[in-house]
Amino acid sequence: MTSLSIILPCLNESQALQGTLQKLTALYAHAEIIVVDDGSSDNSAEIATQLGATVVRHPYRKGNGAAIKTGARNATGDVLIFMDADGQHDPADIERLLAEIEKGHDMVVGARGMESQASTARLFANTFYNKLASWMVEQPIADLTSGFRAVRANKFKEFLSLLPNTFSYPTTITMAFFRAGYSVCYIPIIAHKRIGKSHIKILRDGIRFLLIIFKIGTLYAPLKLFGSLSVGFFIFALFYYFYTFFTDGRFTNMGAVLFTTSILIFLIGLVSEQITQLLYTRKE
C-alpha cells in the first residue's frame, strides 16, 4: 500500500492552519502530516502540535523553498503532497491528485484557472511564465507556480539540491521533472482566497521567478537558450551586413563582430549541452 506524507510549509498562518489541519486529519487520518514552521512569530507551531501534526521548526526564517526541502527530508511516505497552509488549497482535491499518481504519473499539479488568480497583474505574469517555461521544456505547462501538487518521493528527492530556499520551488521542480523525462500531469483546481497576508512581493519575486526559469533552462537545455540567442545575433548581423553593403559598399568591422558573436554563443551553448549531458547521465 502506498504511504502518504502531506507537507505544509508555514509562516505565521495561525488564522488558517487549524481549519486546514482539521480537514486533512478528517480525510486522511492515516497520512503523515508534516508542518514546517519557517520561523513563525505566532502560535502556528503550537496549533499544529495540538492537532496531531508532526512539527519541524526552523530557528529563523529561511524561505518557502527551504521549508519544502525540510519537509521532504523528514517525510517517510512514498508519495508527497505539498499544499499551502493559508487555506487556498482544498484538502478534498488531494484524492484527485492521487488518482492521477495511481495512473502512472510521477507528479500531478493542481492548476489554477483565471478565476483563482489573486490579481490581473498576477494573471498576466503567470501566463507569461507558463509560456516561456513551456517553450524551454517543449511541453505544455498549465501552472508553473502552483504550490499544490502530489509527487513520487524518490523522484522529488533527486532534485532537492536544485530547489531554491526562497520562491519559487514549484518553478524549479516543474521544469526539472519535464526535462528529466518524468511524467507530469495537470488537473484544474479552484484556489480560494488566502487567509491572512501574502508573503509574495510582486516585483521582487517576479524577477526571481524569471531568473529561476533561465537558470533551469540553462541547466537542462542550454543549447535551446544559447541557440536561440545565437540565431538572433546571426539574423541581426545579416541585416546589418546587407545595410552596410548597399549603403557603403563594404563589409564593416561591426558586421564581423556580430557574426563572430553569434558563432561564439552557439559554441558556448554546444559545449554547455555536452557538459549537461555528462552531468546528468545517471549510472545504471
Q: Express each pLDDT in 38-60 by its tens digit.
A: 999 889 999 999 999 999 999 99
What is the rounded radius of gyration, in angstroms, for the C-alpha atoms of the chain? Answer: 22
Cell numbers for 31 = 497520512
CB-based contact 73:54 (threshold 8 Å) = no
Q: How would residue 275 be classed by pLDDT, with cut points 50, 70 and 90? A: confident
Per-residue model confidence (pLDDT) at position 281: 61
Alpha helices in 28-140 (DSSP H): 44-50, 64-74, 94-102, 120-137
DSSP letters spanning 134-186: HHHHTS--S-TT---EEEEHHHHGGGGGGS-SSS-HHHHHHHHHHHHT--EEE
Residues 179-194 pLDDT 10s: 788 999 999 998 877 6
Instruction: Count the Cβ atoms, other than its own, within 10 Å of residue 232.
Output: 12
CB-based contact 88:117 (threshold 8 Å) = no
85 SS3 class: coil
20 SS3 class: helix
Question: CA–CA separation, 60 vs 71, rounded Å?
Answer: 16
- Element spanning 251, H or E: none
pTM for the structure as a whole: 0.79
Q: How would residue 283 be classed by pLDDT, with cut points 50, 70 and 90? A: very low
Per-residue model confidence (pLDDT) at position 55: 95
Cell numbers for 201 = 512581493
Cell numbers for 276 = 549537461
Residues 62-119 pLDDT 10s: 998 999 999 999 999 999 999 988 888 899 999 999 999 999 999 999 998 765 555 5
Per-residue model confidence (pLDDT) at position 122: 66
CA–centroid distance for 96 within its chain:
20
Question: CA–CA separation, 37 vs 40, rounded Å?
Answer: 6
Which residue's C-alpha cell is 549531458?
A: 277
Judged against a pLDDT cut of 70, whether residue 26 lies above it is answered with yes
